Structure 1
Amino acid sequence: MKRLCFVAAALLMALSADAKLKLAEVFTDCMVLQCDKPLSVWGTATPGAEVKVKVGRETGKAVAAADGRWSVRLAPLRASGKAVAFRVSGDGGRIELGNVLVGEVWLASGQSNMEYSMANHPRYAKPRKGDPDRLRHEYEQAGNPMIRLLYVRKDLKGDTLPTAGWQRISRESLKPFSAAAYFFAKALQDSLGVPVGVVSSSWGGTPIETWTPAGAYRESPLFGHAMDGNRLKANGQEVGWRYRKMIEPIAPMAMRGVLWYQGETNLIMGDTDIYTEKMRLLVESWRKAWADSSLPFYYVQISPMLYSGRKADPVAKTWQDLPRFWEAQARCADEIPLTAMVVTTDIPEDLADIHPPYKWVVGERLARLALNKTYGRTDVVCGGPVAKSISVEGDSIVVEFEGTAGGLATRDGKAPDWFYALTKKGRYSRVRASLRGNKVYISTDGLARRTEIRFGWDETAQPNLVNSEGLPALPFRRKVSLGR
């Protein structure tokens, strides 16, 4: 079937070699079209030329504008694992795509932890738990024909989207593809039973502003004054240059949602206090580009690491900078509609390594969010415990959690760890905690009258508190008055 895709591509080139009729680079053989949403199909032709489009049973036509661009909007299609017709004609040319399926489409973007590919296993440390070669085995054995991949190369020189087009799964197509995105697609396809297409467009070491349109920063009350053309005066970053080459050409191809795995570089740059707003600008501008205000964004918390040990960073770090950044990331889910975060405090093994190896865990947790929040699968637990309220009962501080599924537990069967509180001596000390149902009880003995409870509040913290599904609890800090 892979050979059929190449044959169809060759025929397409032969048919359109001398014609000016062209499709956007996101439309190729072997692609997946988004089901149950209106479809936008676009491309270029001679100005004034009429273009007709037929996808499945849906048809439409358009006239190329003065700049040659044309766009057709079609009614939604139902999911189908059987190939549908995809034909475009006009301007003396005819394009026919082969092996086009209809299902669920997602875009995965970010920096190196999203870029971390299915063939990166020889470069990075192997996991110590379970099968240490799981990534390699999956890479070598994957072959589900219902999963399709579109890989966007790290190439900013051309004028078109840098991609070889949609591919079926093979060792060749998986080699550069995001591991987290692949495992997300695998879990989604296994659960939904429909075709799944994922676009992988990411670049290691990149700050969030390079993935955001420059106009969003110029129009921002917070950042507008800090712009010098397309650059931020504070750090010299050119806003939007990866967006222009690696994201904008994909819009407005219909898709279900976005996966985002980024933040390490902005933490290193000292952007903790403004990261939530930068994330808001990214989400809102992408939704605007797709003309879809309800486009879900599911993103990944950056993992525990010794950032304070990085001596060459432009801004020196303390042990508190990472948990403060987690707080900023968690705030995104509270303040930006239709977003949610995967917690990853449990996946690092080497706290000097910025790339935790368990990318299948990340992908599967992202899939849990999508299944529950986007596809309505209420039977799927999509997150770990989150502190709901803190109160004082007698000689105990009581933290009540939501997201406990069948109840709170610990990964190692021991008492909950990484709970600290401000003592009468003015220091934060570890406190004993115990579980009762969905609550954690902490003794008030020796604590300051106005204390603060901190959970997992350290760059090295990997707390053992989980829910019945084994999903980790979200770190937090809360002030408490003991009233005495």
Structure 2
Amino acid sequence: MCSKKLTFLSLSVLLVFSFNLFSQVTLPKILGHNMVLQQQKEVPVWGTASAGEKISVSFAGQTKTTVADKSGKWSVKLRSMKASFTPREMTIKGTNIIVLKNILVGEVWLCSGQSNMEYAMRKYSKFQTAVKGNRPPEDDLNTANNPNIRIFLDRRKYMEPSPEHLGWDAAMGRPLVDFSAVGYYFAKDLYAKLHVPIGMISAAVPGSRIEPWIQASKMDVAPVMKNGKTLDKLSADDGGSGKFYDTMIQPLIPFALKGMLWYQGESNCFLNENIRYAYKLKTLIESWRTDWNDKKMPFYFVQIAPYNYSASKDRPLSNENLPEFWEAQRLALHLKNTNTIAITDLVDSIADLHPGYKWEVGRRLSLVAANKAYGQKNVVCSGPTYQKMKVVNNTIEVSFSNTGSGLASRNGKPLSWFSIAGADGKFVSAKAEIIDNKVIVSAPEVPHPVSVRFGWNEAAQSNFINKEGLPAVPFRSDNPWDKLF
């Protein structure tokens, strides 16, 4: 009899505890101490509580109230605010009270992708052995000391809502060790340009294809190209559609962001994808923008680095599969407010899938953000980009955009990795000279040139740059996809 009473009592205590836990106001993990809120946008604050529970949110002189719906969900939107270095508290009141401390207002970016975006600051020693370019002047892993740069590491098994609010971290000390190096250096350089608090959210998984980052329902489509040809449904590629979206991206929505950074593609390139990847990237960009209710949100991505994909033993690949993938990535530039950076010069060995120049990748992304998202038009943010070609006698005259203060050779030697072909389509290595800020390409074997290519090889690391030091973007004038996407 005594045992039955104890069992009943234990069950009663458990039910009371469960009821109290459910009735508590609960926040998503992205809302926490030390966070940065996006300036000059409405700021959503949301969570769960008991159905019908009255909730109030107070921050920076504002108080917003609402009532949890039948499913226990609630949300409010704070009015847009100016950037502020003043640490402030946010108070969320319901049955319980949550106080989030040390909150700043500034610029917030989400960085996502696979291993090269996940590539953590703990690998700093590899940065120091890099042989090209200027290494960071100081060891940021040990000397970083800017409390106005805040970081949030989105972990796969961490994002479920709970009563705990551990929050964000300042980008220094132990928390920085595991954070994305690209994300940190982007923030560091952007801070130097804008002088406002910067918040970075890193959601990246090594080895991930693009499909897991897209909501599964958005993949069940068969893209129609401009020539009327219909591709197979994107979901047919069986890449685990949606699993990282569901666990890492969806829990962030609708946290206010300025923009998104994407560094992914190696896993899809190994599968010899081109036009299908272009449509997947388009789907990801458009669906994430829809999720955040911002059709114009900046989305900047990295063209993956040179690598010897053709050495893969799993499937037959040629040394042109990577350039075709670069081409597919760049098709996303047909979408507004997208941009990309080339990193063909940031590789010491094409046998290394994870080159260590992450500080420069972050810096180049910050150049794009400064120019495109923040209107600093004096900032040159891209290397020479193919614009058009013209056959002149036995040469091809190539014009470029993004020439900065002029075209140049990085080492003063003749430009490398140009090739031309005649009507037979057989490309041969060509001489390339800079004349009047254009490149004149020719080869004795091709007296009647028709097409020109640059950097069209997985090993191509050309010396062709603009005078700002940014590398020219690989291209082929006979691109078969551009008018069909």
- Per the normalisation by structure 2, the TM-score is 0.88
Q: Report if aligned partners of 2:394, 2:447 keep a CA contact under 8 Å in 1.
A: no
Q: Report if aligned partners of 1:259, 1:297 keep a CA contact under 8 Å in 2.
A: yes
Instruction: Indicate which of 124, 129, 144 corresponds to 1:126.
Output: 129
Please name the residue that 1:325 is paired with.
325
User: Per-residue displacement from partner, 1:132-185 (whole Å, max 9, x unpaired)?
Assistant: 7x59811111111110000012438x7449995300122211111000000000
Please name the residue that 2:408 is paired with.
409
How much does 1:371 deviate? 0.5
Q: Report if aligned partners of 1:434, 1:441 keep a CA contact under 8 Å in 2.
A: yes
1:302 counterpart letter in structure 2: I
Mapped pair 1:105 → 2:108:
yes
Q: Report if aligned partners of 1:29, 1:99 keep a CA contact under 8 Å in 2.
A: yes
2:121 counterpart letter in structure 1: M
* 1:164–1:99 CA distance, 2 compared to 1 (3 A): closer
Please name the residue that 2:399 is paired with.
400
Q: Report if aligned partners of 1:298, 1:339 keep a CA contact under 8 Å in 2.
A: yes
* CA–CA separation in structure 2 for the residues paired with 1:225 and 1:330: 21
Moved more, 21-30 or 440-449: 440-449
Please name the residue that 1:462 is paired with.
461
How much does 1:428 deviate? 1.9
Instruction: Indicate which of 236, 239, 242 corresponds to 2:241.
Output: 239
Instruction: Indicate which of 183, 186, 200 corresponds to 1:184.
Output: 186
1:425-436 residue pairs with structure 2 within 5 A?
A: 427-436=426-435
Instruction: Indicate which of 207, 212, 215 corresponds to 2:214.
Output: 212
**1:24 alignment partner, SS class:** coil
User: Per-residue displacement from partner, 1:17-62 (whole Å, max 9, x unpaired)?
Assistant: 8960122211111110000001100011111011011121222111
Moved more, 81-90 or 294-303: 81-90
How much does 1:130 deviate? 5.6
Q: Report if aligned partners of 1:32, 1:197 keep a CA contact under 8 Å in 2.
A: yes
How much does 1:391 deviate? 0.7
* 1:399–1:130 CA distance, 2 compared to 1 (3 A): closer
2:116 counterpart letter in structure 1: N
How much does 1:293 deviate? 0.6
Q: Report if aligned partners of 2:149, 2:188 keep a CA contact under 8 Å in 1.
A: yes
How much does 1:427 deviate? 3.5
**2:122 alignment partner, SS class:** coil
Question: Quick check: which has more Rg, 1 or 2?
Answer: 2
* 1:204–1:446 CA distance, 2 compared to 1 (3 A): same
Mapped pair 1:94 → 2:93:
no
Q: Report if aligned partners of 1:424, 1:446 keep a CA contact under 8 Å in 2.
A: no
Q: Report if aligned partners of 1:451, 1:479 keep a CA contact under 8 Å in 2.
A: no
**1:29 alignment partner, SS class:** coil
State the number of aligned residues.
Answer: 454
How much does 1:471 deviate? 0.3
**1:119 alignment partner, SS class:** helix
Instruction: Indicate which of 24, 27, 52 corresponds to 1:23.
Output: 27
* CA–CA separation in structure 2 for the residues paired with 1:424 and 1:268: 31
1:82-481 residue pairs with structure 2 within 5 A?
A: 82-90=86-94, 92-122=95-125, 126-129=129-132, 134=136, 137-155=139-157, 159-160=160-161, 164-221=166-223, 226=233, 232-234=235-237, 236-311=238-313, 313=314, 315-333=315-333, 335-422=334-421, 427-443=426-442, 445-447=444-446, 449=448, 451-479=450-478
* CA–CA separation in structure 2 for the residues paired with 1:61 and 1:338: 34
How much does 1:125 deviate? 8.6
Instruction: Indicate which of 66, 72, 77 corresponds to 1:68.
Output: 72
Percent of paired sites with the same residue: 39
* CA–CA separation in structure 2 for the residues paired with 1:448 and 1:457: 21
Q: Report if aligned partners of 2:28, 2:160 keep a CA contact under 8 Å in 1.
A: no
How much does 1:221 deviate? 4.4
User: Per-residue displacement from partner, 1:339-374 (whole Å, max 9, x unpaired)?
Assistant: 111101000111100011100110000000000000
* 1:218–1:389 CA distance, 2 compared to 1 (3 A): same
How much does 1:129 deviate? 3.1
**2:379 alignment partner, SS class:** coil
Q: Report if aligned partners of 1:160, 1:245 keep a CA contact under 8 Å in 2.
A: no
How much does 1:308 deviate? 0.3
* CA–CA separation in structure 1 for the residues paired with 2:316 and 2:221: 30
Q: CA RMSD in A?
A: 2.4
* CA–CA separation in structure 1 for the residues paired with 2:393 and 2:165: 63
Please name the residue that 1:7 is paired with.
none
**2:289 alignment partner, SS class:** helix
* CA–CA separation in structure 2 for the residues paired with 1:405 and 1:208: 33
Q: Report if aligned partners of 2:421, 2:451 keep a CA contact under 8 Å in 1.
A: yes
Q: Any stretches of 5+ residues in structure 2 without a counterpart?
A: 1-19, 225-229, 480-485
2:387 counterpart letter in structure 1: K
Q: Any stretches of 5+ residues in structure 1 without a counterpart?
A: 1-15
How much does 1:200 deviate? 0.6
Q: Report if aligned partners of 2:33, 2:166 keep a CA contact under 8 Å in 1.
A: no
User: Per-residue displacement from partner, 1:281-312 (whole Å, max 9, x unpaired)?
Assistant: 1011111111111111100000111110121x
2:120 counterpart letter in structure 1: S
Moved more, 207-216 or 17-26: 17-26
* CA–CA separation in structure 1 for the residues paired with 2:124 and 2:107: 28
Q: Report if aligned partners of 1:151, 1:165 keep a CA contact under 8 Å in 2.
A: no
* 1:341–1:176 CA distance, 2 compared to 1 (3 A): same
User: Per-residue displacement from partner, 1:183-228 (whole Å, max 9, x unpaired)?
Assistant: 000001111000000001100100001000011112454699747x
* CA–CA separation in structure 1 for the residues paired with 2:441 and 2:232: 47
* 1:207–1:426 CA distance, 2 compared to 1 (3 A): closer
* CA–CA separation in structure 1 for the residues paired with 2:367 and 2:254: 25
**2:240 alignment partner, SS class:** coil
How much does 1:389 deviate? 1.3
**2:81 alignment partner, SS class:** coil
Instruction: Indicate which of 56, 63, 67 corresponds to 1:59.
Output: 63
* CA–CA separation in structure 1 for the residues paired with 2:194 and 2:401: 27
* 1:187–1:124 CA distance, 2 compared to 1 (3 A): closer
